[in-house]
């Protein structure tokens, strides 16, 4: 087992090194700049090597069941340094951020949108228990932790949240890097857009704020601080919003949508 872990750790180092060498890429389409983060390239590379046709020999050892379970179990620990980084970005502009603190609190109501809108859509697409993990939130660190603790990542709920996590990593950052400049073009204040960048996803927040900074480099410090504060608050308060509001609401809606079917009677 230890030898297998050495292989997977070495593989991770190689993939991350390649992604960092590629670096952050900016793709200009008209007046819009799409930001593609190294994180996207690392996920794409890991997915590419994980394909059955490629998973042979040494790659098969790296993608062994034991290594996959180990990676899923300890995925959350790598997120902790990010939280420390957010705190470091927020501290220098704490007084300014506190002056508009109620706005940060108000945006937390958006966390229930994934349940209200996403759960019915998931049912329409034929999902059932997978929808519990996929629609509890944006499928980022908080939702990943909750679902993995309650259901494990090997469950249908776990597959739902993990799928959304990967999809969000690949396409969420690209979407936000396009969406933020478009909203800026409509005249939205750069501080409001910086706040809205903190949706609970490090990659999405970075993509959105980087696109805004590319448009308004003179406001780089403010954009970075507001985005980091919003991200930090969302990661903190979003957990309580999820547990005390989103989860009960999702249980109620799941039972309502599932109706009297046998699958709907399963414990959520």
* pLDDT digits 0-9 by tens, 104-122: 667 777 778 889 999 999 9
pLDDT of residue 267: 53
**Residue 160 CB partners (closer than 8 Å, separation 6+):** 127, 129, 130, 131, 132, 133, 134, 135, 147
Which of these ranges, 13-27, 120-134, 235-249, has the smallest mean pLDDT? 235-249
Range among 43-52, 62-71, 97-106 rated most confident: 43-52
Q: How far apart, in whole angstroms, are the C-alpha atoms of residue 254 and residue 268?
A: 8
Calculate ∠ Cα 141-202-136, nearest 5°. Answer: 35
Q: How far apart, in whole angstroms, are the C-alpha atoms of residue 216 and residue 171?
A: 24
**Residue 135 CB partners (closer than 8 Å, separation 6+):** 114, 115, 118, 119, 122, 160, 250
Q: Report which of residues 228 and 222 the model is more confident about.
A: 222
Q: In percent, how much of the chain has pLDDT > 70?
A: 79
| Mean pLDDT rounded to a whole number for the chain | 79
Q: Report which of residues 137 and 247 the model is more confident about.
A: 247
SS3 state at 27: strand
Look at residues 65, 227, 89 and name the one whose alpha carbon lies nearest to residue 153. Answer: 65
Asked if 160 and 130 touch (Cβ cutoff 8 Å), the reply is: yes
Residue 50 pLDDT greater than 70, yes or no: yes
Residue 208 pLDDT greater than 60, yes or no: yes
Residue 158 pLDDT greater than 50, yes or no: yes
pLDDT of residue 253: 92
Asked if 146 and 242 touch (Cβ cutoff 8 Å), the reply is: yes
pTM of the predicted protein model: 0.67
Residue 227 pLDDT greater than 50, yes or no: yes
Q: How far apart, in whole angstroms, are the C-alpha atoms of residue 24 and residue 19?
A: 9
Residue 20 pLDDT greater than 80, yes or no: yes
Which of the four pLDDT bands, split at 50, 70 and 90, describes residue 264? very low
pLDDT of residue 89: 61
Half-sphere exposure of 21 (CA within 13 A, CB side): 6
pLDDT of residue 147: 87
């Amino acid at each position: 087992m230890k030898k297998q872990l050495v292989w997977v750790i070495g593989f991770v180092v190689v993939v991350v090194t390649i992604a960092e060498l590629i670096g952050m890429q900016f793709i200009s389409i008209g007046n819009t700049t799409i930001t593609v983060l190294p994180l996207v390239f690392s996920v794409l590379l890991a997915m590419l090597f994980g394909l059955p046709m490629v998973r042979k020999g040494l790659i098969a050892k790296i993608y062994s069941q034991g290594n996959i379970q180990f990676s899923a179990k300890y995925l959350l620990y790598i997120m902790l340094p990010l939280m420390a980084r957010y705190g470091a970005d927020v501290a220098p502009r704490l007084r300014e951020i506190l002056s508009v603190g109620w706005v940060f609190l108000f945006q937390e109501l958006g966390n229930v949108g994934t349940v209200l809108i996403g759960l019915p859509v998931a049912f329409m697409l034929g999902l059932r228990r997978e929808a519990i993990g996929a629609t509890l939130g944006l499928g980022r660190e908080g939702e990943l932790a909750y679902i993995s603790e309650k259901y494990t990542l090997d469950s249908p709920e776990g597959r739902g949240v993990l799928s959304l996590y990967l999809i969000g990593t690949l396409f969420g950052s690209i979407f936000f890097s396009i969406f933020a400049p478009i909203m800026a073009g409509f005249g939205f204040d750069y501080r409001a857009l910086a706040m809205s960048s903190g949706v609970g996803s490090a990659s999405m927040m970075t993509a959105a704020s980087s696109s805004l900074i590319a448009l308004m480099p003179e406001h780089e410090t403010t954009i970075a601080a507001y985005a980091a504060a919003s991200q930090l608050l969302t990661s903190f308060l979003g957990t309580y919003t999820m547990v005390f509001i989103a989860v009960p609401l999702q249980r109620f809606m799941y039972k309502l949508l599932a109706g009297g079917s046998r699958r709907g009677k399963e414990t959520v």
